Structure 1
């Protein structure tokens, strides 16, 4: 049976409407379909949430500038760089970066991997911009969708910016290639598989879940008033910080096991349909 032939789940039945005040939504594999599109029904849903006093929180490995451009508004809480940077109303709520002493050996290690034949490259994610020293079009095209501010530089070691994380793209399997090759750095940093081809090297305490907790504190919202959606391993903390946790139907098995519920998949507009059903906002789907 192909994915297109698989039955589409209905949103799970929650019973009574939960008192939700904050909704954290992963992007790739969750809100976005496989063509990286947001369903048009999302925008009236967002307006309905705002009218009800519910704050939406896009939570992504993407850069803050990329998320801000995509949503076009400042009243959301943006969890960027897989939790290393949290912003609302252009004000930083939290940041948790990587020291240069910890970051530069990873840069060197990826260079060595590439020299040995691995098809990999590094994005150094700073507060002002993201930076790449691998400048072939094939690699840059993989980075551009996630980093609205992206600079091509000669030497990542010479970049003068506060490092939030390092994102390593592996044209093969990140889970079986770049991640185990970088596992020896675990300790001073944390190595996280964030997608089929991406590995993030972050502060040991940087996590979407910790970032969501910072947002909860800033907004005066509890875990029981929080809903979250995710599909991949970097979303586990996000789900753990939420009482109303949903794995997408297309989620990694470990994420499905962690979540309280399973939502329809990302290609079935599962996030929007589940929120509308849970909060009884079904009218937005027909606007």
Structure 2
């Protein structure tokens, strides 16, 4: 089903051998209101009919992704929590966690930053549930956008810490100009990834969306030449090493435009769906 609108992607000139489409969510697949574009389910069904997998790749929680994307991805592979968790149906394909000591250090650092005047709050993202101990409505509203299985507790350090995928820190200010550098310096044994204008994810040193994508490709027998990737922010960056059909959203961070081969219309113009439809018309 064609997606209405006028924006046009740039595309490879030759026919494509497409087997996997991987898309970030916020700023990429979802529109400016955080909603799915018109025709999403129809496009995913068309992909499936051609033997092409669709996989969301997001910093969002697995339960949140399943709720937002619905039945269209019921049997699709899903890259969640910035690549620390990959599942298909009920099978875990890939999972990486951070140590208890690093989890404690990340939580303590977020607390220290708040004492120092940064307006931040931490989310402990576990395999099955996420936890917060900052309880004010503005923070809870932001976190609830990305975490469906969420529990408010009195103390993050009192919950089980041995299955932590990441500690995500939300900064109500500009994270690149604010807390991200302090977090990187304070917890050097983890990987600090800026995943949006307000989020820093403290993750296992080797975890990334690109590493998760590699695990998915190996399991499915799909090559980078058969993979299309769509992203808009720095946490998407290393997926571009795993996809020859690489697209930067028109609204993407300059770092994404620097590595992408082609450009998709902005997320507010249904850019992913429009480009996927065009790629399907060019299947070899």
TM-score normalized by structure 1?
A: 0.93
1:198 and 2:199 matched: yes
1:87 and 2:87 matched: yes
Query: Offset at 1:24?
Result: 0.4
1 CA distance for matches of 2:241 and 2:272?
18
Query: Offset at 1:9?
Result: 4.6
1 CA distance for matches of 2:218 and 2:150?
31
Aligned length: 275
1 CA distance for matches of 2:226 and 2:188?
33
Query: Offset at 1:71?
Result: 2.1
- Contact residue 124 and residue 132 of structure 2 kept, 8 A: yes
- Where does 1:202-221 land on structure 2 (aligned, <5 Å)? 202-221=203-222
Gaps of 5+ in 2: 1-5
Within the candidate set 4, 12, 26, 1:14 is matched to 12
2 CA distance for matches of 1:268 and 1:241?
25
Counterpart residue number, 1:39 = 37
Cα shift readout 1:40-89 (whole Å, capped 9, x = no counterpart): 21111011011111000100000011111222243111000000000001
- Where does 1:13-162 land on structure 2 (aligned, <5 Å)? 13-72=11-70, 73-161=73-161, 162=163
- Contact residue 17 and residue 279 of structure 1 kept, 8 A: no
1:184 and 2:182 matched: no
1 CA distance for matches of 2:226 and 2:260?
16
2 CA distance for matches of 1:32 and 1:189?
29
Look up the SS of the partner of 2:35 in the other structure: coil
1 CA distance for matches of 2:187 and 2:226?
33
Counterpart residue number, 1:3 = none
Larger mean CA deviation between 79-88 and 12-21 belongs to: 12-21
- Contact residue 133 and residue 153 of structure 1 kept, 8 A: yes
2 CA distance for matches of 1:140 and 1:59?
23
- Where does 1:251-266 land on structure 2 (aligned, <5 Å)? 251-266=252-267
Coordinate RMSD, CA, aligned: 1.4
Cα shift readout 1:238-269 (whole Å, capped 9, x = no counterpart): 12211111000000001100111111110011
Larger mean CA deviation between 10-19 and 123-132 belongs to: 10-19
Look up the SS of the partner of 2:168 in the other structure: strand
Gaps of 5+ in 1: 1-7, 282-287
Query: Offset at 1:185?
Result: 4.1
1 CA distance for matches of 2:51 and 2:198?
37
Larger mean CA deviation between 68-77 and 263-272 belongs to: 68-77
1 CA distance for matches of 2:7 and 2:213?
27
TM-score normalized by structure 2?
A: 0.94
